[in-house]
Amino acid sequence: MMKSMLLVVISVVVVASVWAQGPVCPPRPMPGSLVVNPLDLYSQNGALNVNLTLQNQFGSDQFEHYCYVYTDSMGNQTEAPTLRLNPGDQLNLNLTDNIQPPYFGPQKVQKPHMDMQFPPPPVKPTNPDCNGGMLMGGSTNMHFHGLNIPPVCGQDDVIYTLIQSGDPPFPYSFQIPSNDNPGMYWYHPHAHGNTTTQVDGGAAGAIFIEGTINGTQGLPERVFVIRQQFKNPNSWLPGPNQLTINFQPALFPDAPSPFINMQYGQQEFWRVANSSTQAFLTLQVIYGTTPQNVQVVALDGVPLNPPITENQILLAPAARAEFIVPGLPSDEEGVFLTNGYNTGPVGNPNPPQQLLKMFGTTNSKVEPPPDRGSSKPPAERQRFAGLLTQQPTTQRNLYFSEQTVGSNGPTQYFITVAGQKPKVFSMDAPPAITTQIGAVEDWTIENHAGEAHAFHIHQLHFLLMDVNGQPVQNPELYDTFTIPAWSGSGPYPSITVRMDFRDPQIAGTFVFHCHILDHEDGGMMQKIQVNPN
Amino acid sequence: MKKLFTLLLILGIWILPATSHAADKSKASSSPIYVITNDDGTMHSYATFFVAGGTQNDPTLTFQQSVNTQGLGIGGGFFGTPRLTMLPNSSTQCLYVSDAGTGDVAAINLSSKTLVGNFSGSINDIGTSNGIGLAMNQNYLYAGYTLSNTIATFSVGAGCTLSFLGDITVTPLNGGWIAGMALNGNIMVVTYIDGSIESFNIANGIPIPNNDEQNSAGFAQTYFPDSVDITQDGHFAIFGDAAVPTIVEVSDLSSGKLAPTVMYLVSLPTNAIGPGVNSATARLSPDESLLYICNSQNGYVAAAFFNTSTGKVTPGCTSQLLNNFYNPWSYVGGLQTRDTTGTGNVLYVAEFGSSIGIVNVTSTGTACTLTEVAGSPVADNSSPGLLSIQVAPPRPF
């Protein structure tokens, strides 16, 4: 009798403990350990088939973890693998939503009331997850950041697609454009209202479109996904947070630094994604005490021609940089850091932080990626080719602005087309801009707020033409770009970008927004409808 | 005879203001005007006293002393939350300053400029997110705690002491938090910064809802009342809205409850977002002819004309960009008038980031000017983020 009672008690305790813990994410590296590349998943025979499960856990580090879990054929689980595909390949990704309550850690301040009804699409879809619905704590979807693919449910739609916890696996299936640029992209949740929480929890991974980037052949390759985690991602108060590099907290000098071992004298090819929720990174490599010039070969997934040499790279939240790092001299050590960024008079703190330490070795294990025979040039004209010489059909003016009830927030965030009324974005709002396939437009985007913002548009890259009214000498393509804070007087900081709506694949409705995710969730987003011809 | 009457009338018109002015001057010289801050410091918090001096055209502000509240602030919060209060009469000797970090109210004797004590509500009263608002009458002091959404009631005792009586929980309609507070007679009006507002009957001390909680007219356009002021006769409640344009809302209180608000567009900001953004704080002049508005987010103050009979608000004037906006201070907090009569003549403006702006006011009744004076702003070095100030003697309502 006693024995059976004890068993019952033990069973209750075990069940209660499992319930309290919820889904379990793979363990993340401890501070001070070796930084390794994420697991690579390669397409084979023109396709990459992958199953990911998004789940959450309140970690022992007192941060809420949201993890994309990949389980291999042996049952081993890995978080946020890197997806590698060639131009023209098919990505078949089944996403299972296993997010479980509680959605937030203890003692967290909630945002203001924020019910969001995702609208149904014009044509009723067969998959109910493509039919909008009410945003719940466990709702999610996926955005393939930077890929120039259709805004269609099952491809790269974030307006009508809403996956609920417990739904059957949601099938994403699309083809990488055969003429797309080789480079670094990334995937992350984009369910408006939940984006900050989930990305803050770590739900982000890299995507590479394979192909030759001049000067990088044969170089050891490192992939760094820099994330940011807040103790309380849902608070408007800029509270305790930390940057992580491949999930390892970068806390030096308060904790041992993440590190890598580099072969003395060996150049390396580094591919870095700023997958933070709001950090502007000013990346720098220092050997000894000397900042190093690095050769930047691609930005936001687009190779630069010619490459540029920089000793510091500004990456807006969501931006990527790919660069060649010079060899570490013998008997030297190095550091990779962000120098911090002035986000403006009312911007959040964005301090410097050492991201990792580099030690020299004579037997580094880092290898070049396998040669997958993808070095042949694209069969078709490169994406966005000739955009610089296109005559724009329309000029538009937009601006970022904010309105807050107090110095600590909460704040209403706006991105507004000039002449329209500033509005907090709601999912059922009509498009702020309507255009059509074939259009080439120049947009001037100003920042009227006292903090920096990061402009991003889905489905396409834009050509940066002017900064603060001054023409850019060598315009490059981006999908995310920083607009510094307004100083309180004088002209508003601005960029002018050229938008390419010529590709019929991107017809549909999609969004543009600030990629500070708290701002995006807070309403700094609008829709654009691109009508087919 | 008629000529004599006219002469006497003219003499009277000439003499009376002169006499009154002389009396004011004499009063000013015998009892200094203090501008007092709630420094809201997170390591130490002070009420800092400045003496207002100079002339109408060249007003000055001179640091006198800081009184340690023995509590802690939070270095910021809602723009429309009043963090200092005192009875609206010139003989009052008690000043109350909230300590949002430690959750108490510090009582300070104005004559001696010494701390009388710290008074706390219940353990449920928490204001660490955005501050603790204060409002009082002869018998009671009310403290609105922004995080817990509670209003604590204290009875006012001898020697500025307070005794906690109890607290109530408020329930904003749209998930907000208590922010602005003002009272007049038996009615207290509060804002919840989510578009909803409510009034309470305070005749017997602890507030009793008047069952008039409602969304303001501006709510539909995401204009959220932040601060609140009430006319001297208790006829109207006036709300300063957190809004992109300069918006104030007015509610008729004559029924003893909040009537639906009427929204007034005071100014459209330049380019839809320039000077005139976010009218979070609105406060009447002593003679109620002008409504002063702090454009919290763009560094300006504005004034609108107020009709005490109808409650109508009409556009008036806007200052130039206040000195040092965004470098180093970044938001306009609350404001107070220097004088207790007329337009108040001089505005003291709390600047989030350790300074007080000084703005001269002129008004003809149909036109006005707001001019920041040379030497403005004056540093308040012990505040990391100044949002609330008080003037003693205070406006008489």
Distance from CA of B197 to the nearest CA of A (A): 14
Per-residue pLDDT tens digits for A226-260: 999 988 776 656 678 899 999 999 999 999 999 99
Please give the structure tokens belonging to residue A175.
Answer: 């083809």
Q: Is the pLDDT of residue A404 over 70?
A: yes
DSSP string over A198-211: HHHTT--EEEEE--
Q: Is the pLDDT of residue A24 over 80?
A: yes
Per-residue pLDDT tens digits for B152-201: 999 999 999 999 999 999 999 998 999 999 999 999 999 999 999 999 99
User: What pLDDT score does A237 carry?
Assistant: 60
Q: Are residues A399 and A518 in the same domain?
A: yes
Distance from CA of B335 to the nearest CA of A (A): 15
Q: How far apart, in whole angstroms, are the C-alpha atoms of residue A286 and residue A292?
A: 6
Per-residue pLDDT band at A154 (split at 50, 70, 90): very high
DSSP string over A272-332: EEE--SSPPEEEEEEETTEEPPEEEEEETTEEEEEEEEES-EEE-TT-EEEEEEPPBPTT-
Residues of B in contact with A407 (CB under 8 A): 76-77, 79, 330-331, 352, 385, 387
Q: Is residue A216 part of a domain?
A: no
Q: Are residues A59 and A146 in the same domain?
A: yes
Q: B242, A399: Cβ pair inside 8 Å?
A: no
Please give the structure tokens belonging to residue A270.
Answer: 């580094």
Task: Give me the interface pTM, i.e. the ipTM.
Answer: 0.86
Query: Rounded mean pLDDT of A168-174?
Result: 98
Sign of CA pseudo-dihedral B214, B220, B224, B225 = negative
Any idea what the Cα angle at residue B158 is, between residues B156 and B163, rounded to 5°? 40
User: What pLDDT score does A16 carry?
Assistant: 38
User: What pLDDT score does A362 carry?
Assistant: 87
Out of A361, A379, A409, a domain closes at A361
Residue A91 makes CB contacts below 8 A (sequence gap 6+) with A43, A47, A48, A50, A83, A85, A172, A173, A174, A175, A176
Per-residue pLDDT tens digits for A51-75: 999 999 988 888 899 999 999 999 9
Per-residue pLDDT band at B18 (split at 50, 70, 90): very low
Q: Please name the residue of chain A whose CA is at the shortest distance from the CA of residue B81.
A: A406
Per-residue pLDDT tens digits for A503-531: 999 999 999 999 999 999 989 999 999 99
Instruction: Report phi then psi at A317, rounded to 5.
Output: -55, 130
Query: Rounded mean pLDDT of B322-345?
Result: 95
Per-residue pLDDT band at B352 (split at 50, 70, 90): very high
Total structural domains in chain A? 3
Instruction: Report phi then psi at A113, rounded to 5.
Output: -45, 130
Q: Are B191 and B180 in contact (CB under 8 A)?
A: yes
User: Domain limits at A489?
Assistant: 387-531
CA distances from B104 to B80, B98, B119, B161, B170 (A): 19, 6, 5, 13, 19
Residue A75 makes CB contacts below 8 A (sequence gap 6+) with none
Pairs of CB atoms within 8 A across A/B: 100
User: How many other CB atoms sit within 10 Å of the CB of residue A344?
Assistant: 22
Q: Are B281 and B333 in contact (CB under 8 A)?
A: yes
Out of A304, A326, A361, a domain closes at A361
Among B146, B149, B244, the strongest candidate for a mutation testing the A interface, having the largest count of A CBs within 10 A, is B244
Give the rounded percent of residues in chain A with a pLDDT score beyond 90: 76
Which amino acid appears at position A202 of this protein? G
Q: Is residue A237 part of a domain?
A: yes
User: What pLDDT score does A488 carry?
Assistant: 85
Taking the CA atoms of residue A161, residue A162, residue A167 and residue A169 in that order, the dihedral angle to the nearest 10 degrees is 40
**Strand ranges for B69-125 from DSSP E:** 84-85, 94-99, 104-109, 114-120
Q: How far apart, in whole angstroms, are the C-alpha atoms of residue B369 and residue A231?
A: 48
Q: Are residues A487 and A463 in the same domain?
A: yes
Per-residue pLDDT band at B55 (split at 50, 70, 90): confident
Beta bridge partners of A41: A83
Q: A399, B174: Cβ pair inside 8 Å?
A: no
Q: How far apart, in whole angstroms, are the C-alpha atoms of residue A230 and residue A237?
A: 10
Per-residue pLDDT band at B45 (split at 50, 70, 90): very high
Q: Is the pLDDT of residue A152 over 70?
A: yes
Beta bridge partners of B289: none
Please give the structure tokens belonging to residue A34.
Answer: 């070796």
Q: B222, A418: Cβ pair inside 8 Å?
A: no
What is this structure's pTM?
0.88
Q: Is residue A372 part of a domain?
A: no
Domain of A416, CATH number, reads 2.60.40.420
Please give the structure tokens belonging to residue A514.
Answer: 């600030």
CA atoms within 13 A on the CB side of B51: 11
Query: Rounded mean pLDDT of B310-334?
Result: 93
Q: Are residues A201 and A262 in the same domain?
A: no
Q: How far apart, in whole angstroms, are the C-alpha atoms of residue B177 and residue B81?
A: 11
Q: Are A461 and A300 in contact (CB under 8 A)?
A: yes
Query: Rounded mean pLDDT of B369-374?
Result: 96
Q: Is residue A150 part of a domain?
A: yes
Q: Are residues A194 and A264 in the same domain?
A: no
Residues of B in contact with A422 (CB under 8 A): 244, 272-273
User: What pLDDT score does A186 carry?
Assistant: 98
User: How many other CB atoms sit within 10 Å of the CB of residue B369?
Assistant: 15
Query: Rounded mean pLDDT of B331-352?
Result: 97
Per-residue pLDDT tens digits for A445-501: 999 999 999 999 999 999 999 999 999 999 999 999 999 999 888 899 999 999 999
Give the rounded percent of residues in chain B with a pLDDT score beyond 70: 90
Pairing of strands A477-478, A462-467: antiparallel
User: What pLDDT score does A434 carry?
Assistant: 98
Q: Is the pLDDT of residue A372 over 90?
A: no
Among A407, A408, A420, the strongest candidate for a mutation testing the B interface, having the largest count of B CBs within 10 A, is A407
User: What pLDDT score does A61 carry?
Assistant: 86
Q: Is residue A435 part of a domain?
A: yes
Q: Are residues A38 and A161 in the same domain?
A: yes
> Picking from A92-106, B261-275, B355-369, which range would have the lowest pLDDT averaged per residue?
B261-275
Distance from CA of B285 to the nearest CA of A (A): 23
**Strand ranges for B100-235 from DSSP E:** 104-109, 114-120, 132-136, 140-145, 150-156, 162-169, 181-184, 187-191, 196-201, 208-209, 214-215, 224-230
**What is the H or E stretch that residue B12 is in?**
helix B2-30
Taking the CA atoms of residue B311, residue B314, residue B316 and residue B320 in that order, the dihedral angle to the nearest 10 degrees is 100
Query: Rounded mean pLDDT of B334-349?
Result: 97
Per-residue pLDDT tens digits for A284-308: 999 999 999 999 999 999 999 899 9
Q: Are residues A205 and A61 in the same domain?
A: yes
A397 touches chain B (CB under 8 A): no
Q: How far apart, in whole angstroms, are the C-alpha atoms of residue A530 and residue A437?
A: 6
DSSP state of B220: G
Q: Is the pLDDT of residue B22 over 70?
A: no
Q: B385, A407: Cβ pair inside 8 Å?
A: yes
Q: Is residue A440 part of a domain?
A: yes
Q: How far apart, in whole angstroms, are the C-alpha atoms of residue A141 and residue B71?
A: 47
Query: Rounded mean pLDDT of B121-132?
Result: 96
Q: Is the pLDDT of residue A99 over 50?
A: yes
User: What pLDDT score does B270 carry?
Assistant: 47
CA distances from B183 to B158, B253, B394 (A): 22, 11, 15
User: What pLDDT score does A507 carry?
Assistant: 97
Per-residue pLDDT band at A15 (split at 50, 70, 90): very low
Q: Are B195 and A424 in contact (CB under 8 A)?
A: no
Q: Are residues A191 and A277 in the same domain?
A: no
Query: Rounded mean pLDDT of A2-15?
Result: 39
Q: Are residues A176 and A277 in the same domain?
A: no
Q: Are residues A89 and A178 in the same domain?
A: yes
Q: Is the pLDDT of residue A2 over 70?
A: no
Mean pLDDT, chain B, whole residue set: 90
A406 touches chain B (CB under 8 A): yes
Per-residue pLDDT tens digits for B227-273: 999 999 999 999 999 988 889 999 999 999 999 999 998 876 544 34
Q: Which domains does chain B have, with CATH numbers?
A: 32-392 (2.130.10.10)
Pairing of strands B246-252, A241-245: unpaired
User: How many other CB atoms sit within 10 Å of the CB of residue A136?
Assistant: 18
Q: Is the pLDDT of residue B387 over 70?
A: yes
Residue A471 makes CB contacts below 8 A (sequence gap 6+) with A465
CA distances from A232 to A229, A242, A243, B264 (A): 8, 11, 14, 38
Q: Please name the residue of chain A whose CA is at the shortest distance from the CA of residue B352.
A: A407
Mean pLDDT, chain A, whole residue set: 90
Query: Rounded mean pLDDT of B3-32?
Result: 42
Per-residue pLDDT band at A117 (split at 50, 70, 90): confident
Q: Is residue A15 part of a domain?
A: no
Q: Are residues A250 and A170 in the same domain?
A: no
Strand ordering across the sheet containing B281-284: B281-284, B290-295, B300-306, B313-318
**What is the H or E stretch that residue B284 is in?**
strand B281-284
Of A401, A412, A450, the CB nearest to B330: A450
What size, in residues, is chain B? Answer: 397
Q: Are residues A473 and A327 in the same domain?
A: no
Q: Is residue A376 part of a domain?
A: no
Per-residue pLDDT band at A180 (split at 50, 70, 90): confident
Per-residue pLDDT band at A276 (split at 50, 70, 90): very high
Q: Are B217 and B264 in contact (CB under 8 A)?
A: no
Select from A180, A194, A201, A192 the least CA-distant residue to A79: A201
Q: Is A97 left (phi over 0), alpha (psi -120 to 50) or beta?
A: beta
Give SS3 for B150.
Answer: strand
A115 touches chain B (CB under 8 A): no
Instruction: Report phi then psi at B347, rounded to 5.
Output: -105, 140
